Structure 1
């Protein structure tokens, strides 16, 4: 098995089996397009796409495989799971499919995610010797600058380093818009290194965030980032009540962690509450900065905001959430 990032796909063509893993729409489309074109050139003229869910007609898929064998047609099967995930029933069907694949059948599977347990499935192990797993997860804030540099190199575009940071700030989480603005800049300024000012004069704030980007920024005490994320969530009309629920769960978790530390080690508490390894540093730093009284004051403020929202639809809810964010980061007295 070979594991690669999406921008390496052009160097790993030629395998019969690919697993596109990750939910970034731009990376998924880019990878699928590269693979479809490569298989077309390799003589796989028949390309069939099946959207996989609990209603999928697997008999039709299996019958296609049998018919292909009869006529010796090189055929590409693309199984697209969309937002759906693997379950026991679908895994069983994939196990059966892996047993009837022949050299004239190529396979691309597009999945948002897989667990370690699912990697023990029969189909996964059966394909593993010839399987290329393509990471199509959206680059996070730390990975994005290098992704942009790689993309600029592929497109033979030169941009000032500080302008790359600007692109990352305004297009995080939105690779489609990011690649479009880069293509636009290439057309506008084809013959020289593109400057910070030239980038700044053409960009729009098109970053896409989830509420969990917001809570991570709050705990990391990244003021500018937290406010930027919140502004984008507001602009995209994210439901404020859902934000309140998410921050409420986060606060209750942190309070429980803080209480647990009175009797147990940090590792014991993290294990008990199943804190992911990649989140433990950010929780540790926040727990070291906060005290239990401030956390309960935050929870009381949150309750106050929710009560106000329920009794008065005209309440300036986003202003209240901005103030709560500042308080969460210790920048506003309770």
Structure 2
């Protein structure tokens, strides 16, 4: 099995089996398009796509593996799970499918995620020797600048580091809008060397965030980023009560961690509360900045906001959440 990023796909064509793994719609579409073109060039003229859910007619899929086509002996089967996931019933069908595949059948599976236990199933192991796994996860805030640089290089465009930072700020989490603005800039400024002012005059705020981007920014004490994310969540009409629930969970976790550190080591405490490895550093820094009294004060303020939720209008509610966010980051200079 080979694991690659989506921008390496042109170098890994020729395998009969591909697993497009990750939920970014732009990267998924790009990978699917490149693979379909490559298979067409290789003579796979019959290309069938099936959307997989609990109502899928698997008999039609199995039949397509055995049907003789008068115009083509090579068939590409694409299984698109959309936002769905694997369950026991679908896994059993995939196990059966993996056993009936022949050399003249290629397979593309598009799936948002797969667990370690699912990697031990029959179908995954059967395909693994010839399987290419294409990572289509949206680049995070640390990965995005390099992703933009690579994309600009492919488009033969030069944009300075400050302008790339600007693109990251306004288009994080939205690669479709990001690639569209880059294409627009290329049309507007065909000299290939685009200035900061030219980028700034054409951008709009199209970043897509989740509440977990917001809490991570607050825990990391990144004030500007936290404010920007909260503004975008408000623009996209995210439900304030859900934000309160998410930050409540974070505060309760912080309180438990702080209490645990009174009698246990940092590692023991993190292990007890199952804190992900990639978040332990920012949690450690935050815990070093705060104290229990301040955390309980935050929790009390959050409770007040929730009680007033039934009486205050949306504008006042967002102001209260913004104030809470700033207080959350107020233990040290951010």
Same fold (TM over 0.5): yes
* Residue number in structure 2 paired with 1:174: 174
* Residue number in structure 1 paired with 2:78: 78
* Residue number in structure 1 paired with 2:238: 238
SS class of match (2:67)? helix
TM-score, normalised to structure 1, is 0.97
> 5 Å matches for 1:189-200?
189-200=189-200
Superposed structure 1 runs of 4+ greater than 4 Å apart: 68-72
How many Å separate the matches in 2 of 1:49 and 1:257? 48
Per-residue deviation, residues 90-139 of structure 1 (Å, max 9, x unmatched): 11111111000001100000000011111111111111111100000000
SS class of match (1:185)? helix
* Residue number in structure 2 paired with 1:45: 45
Give the direction of change, closer, same or farther, for the CA distance of 1:45–1:314 in structure 2 (3 Å limit). closer
SS class of match (1:86)? coil
The question of 1:209 aligning with 2:209 is answered: yes
Q: Do the aligned partners of 1:73 and 1:104 also contact (CA within 8 Å) in 2?
A: yes
How many Å separate the matches in 2 of 1:214 and 1:78? 36
Answer with 68-77 or 187-196: which moved more.
68-77
Deviation at 1:313, TM superposition (A): 3.7
* Residue number in structure 2 paired with 1:2: 2
Answer with 309-318 or 103-112: which moved more.
309-318
* Residue number in structure 1 paired with 2:104: 104
Per-residue deviation, residues 6-36 of structure 1 (Å, max 9, x unmatched): 1111111111000000000000000000001
Deviation at 1:317, TM superposition (A): 0.6
Q: Do the aligned partners of 1:72 and 1:104 also contact (CA within 8 Å) in 2?
A: no
Which structure 1 segments of 5+ residues have no match? none
Deviation at 1:68, TM superposition (A): 4.2
How many Å separate the matches in 2 of 1:149 and 1:277? 28
Q: Do the aligned partners of 1:217 and 1:226 also contact (CA within 8 Å) in 2?
A: yes
How many Å separate the matches in 1 of 2:274 and 2:91? 27
How many Å separate the matches in 1 of 2:175 and 2:86? 26
Q: Do the aligned partners of 1:68 and 1:74 also contact (CA within 8 Å) in 2?
A: no
Which structure 2 segments of 5+ residues have no match? none
Per-residue deviation, residues 231-254 of structure 1 (Å, max 9, x unmatched): 110111111111011101111111
Deviation at 1:311, TM superposition (A): 3.0
Deviation at 1:312, TM superposition (A): 3.3
Deviation at 1:59, TM superposition (A): 1.5
Q: Do the aligned partners of 2:181 and 2:203 also contact (CA within 8 Å) in 1?
A: yes
How many Å separate the matches in 1 of 2:25 and 2:102? 30
Q: Do the aligned partners of 1:214 and 1:226 also contact (CA within 8 Å) in 2?
A: yes
Per-residue deviation, residues 38-57 of structure 1 (Å, max 9, x unmatched): 11111111111111111111
Per-residue deviation, residues 192-248 of structure 1 (Å, max 9, x unmatched): 410000000000011000000000000000000000000110111111111011101
Deviation at 1:314, TM superposition (A): 6.1
Q: Do the aligned partners of 2:289 and 2:331 also contact (CA within 8 Å) in 1?
A: no
How many Å separate the matches in 2 of 1:196 and 1:314? 36
How many Å separate the matches in 2 of 1:42 and 1:161? 40
SS class of match (1:8)? helix
Aligned-CA RMSD value: 1.5
How many Å separate the matches in 1 of 2:114 and 2:150? 26
> 5 Å matches for 1:32-181?
32-68=32-68, 73-181=73-181
How many Å separate the matches in 2 of 1:27 and 1:248? 33
Deviation at 1:72, TM superposition (A): 6.6
SS class of match (2:3)? strand
* Residue number in structure 1 paired with 2:321: 321
SS class of match (1:264)? coil
TM-score, normalised to structure 2, is 0.97
How many Å separate the matches in 2 of 1:30 and 1:228? 29
SS class of match (1:36)? helix
Q: Do the aligned partners of 1:69 and 1:104 also contact (CA within 8 Å) in 2?
A: no
How many Å separate the matches in 2 of 1:327 and 1:114? 38
